[in-house]
Chains A and B, each alone.
Chain A
Amino acid sequence: MRIHFERTGGFAGMSMATTFDLDDLPEDEADHLKSLLDDLDFDDLPEKIVSSPSGADRFSYTIAIENKKGRRAVETTDSAAPEKLRGLINLLNQMSRTRRM
């Protein structure tokens, strides 16, 4: 399974994109991701989770999962992401930031 994580917007308006292949990740990270995805029912999430526009310079995210079943993507923002999606966003964000070199 591959997870593609993209973060755009923010004050600096930069794009940060990373693709993680779960087979290549350390076991604990891969397991953590898998359990978050299971808890989320990722397949059942709507494609776009955005709130009515208020505020500025917030981050936007796209999380795309590719597995044997195909590809599913969810787009959301810092202000709209539901609590249960936050855990996954925070982890993927942290993993992307630390691998950015």
Chain B
Amino acid sequence: MLGEIIAKGSDNQRSRAMQTLSLSEQARGQRRALTDISHMLTAMSASAEKTRTIYDAREGTTLPGTLVRKEGDPPVADPAANEAYDGCGFTYDLYKNFFGRNSLDGNGMHIDSTVHYQKGYDNAFWDGKQMVYGDGDEDLPEAQRLFNRFTISVDIIGHELTHGITQYEANLAYFAQSGALNESMSDVFGSLVKQYQRGQSAAEADWIIGEGLFTSNVKGVGIRSMKAPGTAYDDPVIGKDPQPGHMKDYVSTTQDNGGVHINSGIPNHAFYVAALEIGGNAWEKAGQVWYIALRDNLKGTSDFQDAANQTFLIAGQKFGVGSLEQKAVAKGWAEVGITAVSVPVTPPVTNGGSGCLTAVFRGLGLLRNG
């Protein structure tokens, strides 16, 4: 109703309605209100559909490269291009169907991927605007190859896309604990994409990240294990999986931006425990809680304790204080050495009419000057 008044009322009515909406929305989080309105607008305008584009860097480094497959095109000869296309599709669908999110920015942005980046590039990354995938060790003799192409596991694709979502939402700073949390979000939702694709419950899932990425030359099951951090690989050439699964084993290092891929094992394991405890499909309840935390509650400097407190809060809000779900979230964090504590709902930042919500209304022409 307030939305109606804002859209169609007089100036006076508008400003009063906006004030009321503003104040009531503050209790639920300004960001959430902005998102809801954004979704409403999207639903009113073009229908929410994915727009995927796959490019080929042809072993060079110029991005995005040559267009090889666009949305709606049939499969091409190149498996990497098809894997990137399909993986983006599964990721988009998970976020849209279960979390009501229309692409990375929540507003249907194009999803761009480049495959065949460089030669012998044993990596995949998110560059701030798109995903980029290497082919692994294709340039080395077979006996020396450690990595396959990086589109080979759908959770890697989900992981990279989630970096984009994190950038638009909590924007967790990519170093130390907030960075490890950023990494963990990508592993959590990457794993959920894989579980969703396979139709697996939390109990059925393997909770391994990057299964299939290693060649048979490597002694390992994957890159990381959310179920048992530190056990994914133990190999004479690449060494042992360095991930901790508990705060007492937190790794202080200057490598890897302060160990963001290492200490992510701790929040990863917390999610695994919570999801397993709740039961059913991990994306339905545990995934919901983590998604809301990423979208509404966490911010750039959030650390593990913040994540524990906010997921605990959200689980209480969604499922009830003292509910099985909230207890499962608390148990997940407790198992990694963090006690979730009750925190007050954080009011959004309001700076006298120049906040997010106001900017949207101004942009829509619903505000006069001011």
Q: A57-B125, A58-B125 are in contact. Are A13 and B256 (CB under 8 A)?
A: yes
CA distance A94 to B128 in the complex (A): 26
User: Binary interface profile of A, 80-101, with partner B (CB < 8 Å = 1, else 0)?
Assistant: 0000000000000010011011
Q: Which of B124, B128, B146, B264 contacts A54 (CB 8 A)?
A: B128
Interface window among A4-12, A19-27, A31-39, A63-71: A4-12
Do A59 and B127 have beta carbons less than 8 Å apart?
no
Q: Does B255 contact A (CB under 8 A)?
A: yes
- The A42-82 residues at the B interface (CB cut-off 8 A) are 53-60, 78-79
CB of B244 within 8 Å of the partner chain:
no
Residues from chain B with Cβ under 8 Å of A9 in the complex: 255-257, 260-261
CB<8 Å pairs between A and B, sample of 8? A10-B125, A11-B125, A11-B150, A12-B261, A13-B223, A97-B120, A98-B144, A100-B144
User: Which 4 residue pairs are nearest across A and B when measured between Cβ atoms?
Assistant: A13-B261, A54-B128, A57-B125, A8-B255
Which residues on the B side are within 8 Å of A55 (C-beta)? 125-128, 163
| Alpha-carbon gap, A98 to B224, bound state (A) | 24
With A12-B261, A14-B238, A55-B127 in contact, is A97–B122 under 8 Å at CB? Answer: yes
Q: How far is the CA of A53 from the CA of B144 in the complex (A)?
A: 33
Contact B223 A101 (CB under 8 A): no
Give 1 or 0 for each of B303-317: 1 = CB within 8 Å of chain A CB.
Answer: 000000000000000
B174 touches A12 (CB 8 A): no
* Mask: chain B, 209-242; 1 = CB below 8 Å from A; 0 = not: 0100100000000011000000000000111001
Chain A's closest residue to B213 (CB) is: A12
Give B150's nearest chain A residue, CB to CB.
A11
Q: Interface size (B, Cβ < 8 Å)?
A: 40
Selected from A13, A53, A60, the residue in CB contact (under 8 A) with B173 is A53
Which residues of B pack against A, CB within 8 Å?
A: 120, 122-128, 137, 140, 144, 146-147, 150, 156, 159-160, 163, 167, 173-175, 182-183, 186, 210, 213, 223-224, 237-239, 242, 255-257, 260-262, 264
User: What total of A-B pairs shows CB separation below 8 Å?
Assistant: 91
Tell me what chain A mostly uses at the interface: helix, strand, loop, or mixed. loop
A60 to B261, CA, bound (A): 12
Known contacts A13-B260, A53-B173, A57-B123; 17 additional CB pairs below 8 A are A9-B255, A10-B261, A11-B123, A12-B147, A13-B224, A13-B261, A14-B238, A15-B255, A54-B167, A55-B163, A56-B163, A57-B126, A60-B256, A97-B120, A98-B144, A100-B237, A101-B237
Report B271 CB to chain A, min CB distance, Å: 18
- Other-chain contact of B159, A11, A53, A54, A60 (Cβ < 8 Å): A11
Q: A9-B261, A13-B256 are in contact. Are A57 and B120 (CB under 8 A)?
A: no
Q: Please, which residues of chain B bring their CB within 8 A of the CB of A12?
A: 122-123, 147, 210, 213, 223, 261
Q: By the criterion CB–CB under 8 Å, are B122 and A10 in contact?
A: yes
Neighbouring B residues of A57 by C-beta, 8 Å: 123-126, 159-160, 163
Q: CA A15 – CA B262 in complex, angstroms?
A: 11
Give complex CA distance A11, B224 in Å.
10
How long is the Cα–Cα vector from A52 to B224 in the complex, in angstroms?
Answer: 28
Do residues B256 and A98 form an inter-chain contact, with CB atoms below 8 A? no
Distance of A29 Cα from B144 Cα, bound (Å): 20
> Which chain A positions have C-beta within 8 A of B147?
12
| B128 contact set on A, CB distance < 8 A | 54-55
Whether A14 lies near B239 (C-beta < 8 A) is: yes
Q: When the two chains form their complex, are residues B262 and A13 in contact, meaning their CB atoms are under 8 A apart? A: yes
Q: Which residues of B contact A13 (CB under 8 A)?
A: 183, 223-224, 242, 256, 260-262, 264
Contact yes or no, A11 B257, CB < 8 A: no
Which of B120, B124, B125, B160 meets A94, CB within 8 Å?
B120
Pick from B173, B210, B257 the residue with the most CB of A within 10 Å: B257
- Does B127 lie within 8 Å of A79, measured CB to CB? yes
Closest residue of chain B to A93 (Cβ to Cβ) is B120
Q: In the complex the two chains form, what is the Cα distance from A97 to B124 in whole Å? A: 17
CA of A13 to CA of B264, assembled, Å = 10
In the bound complex, how far is the Cα of B213 from the Cα of A74, in angstroms? 31
A11 to B126 Cα, complex, angstroms: 10
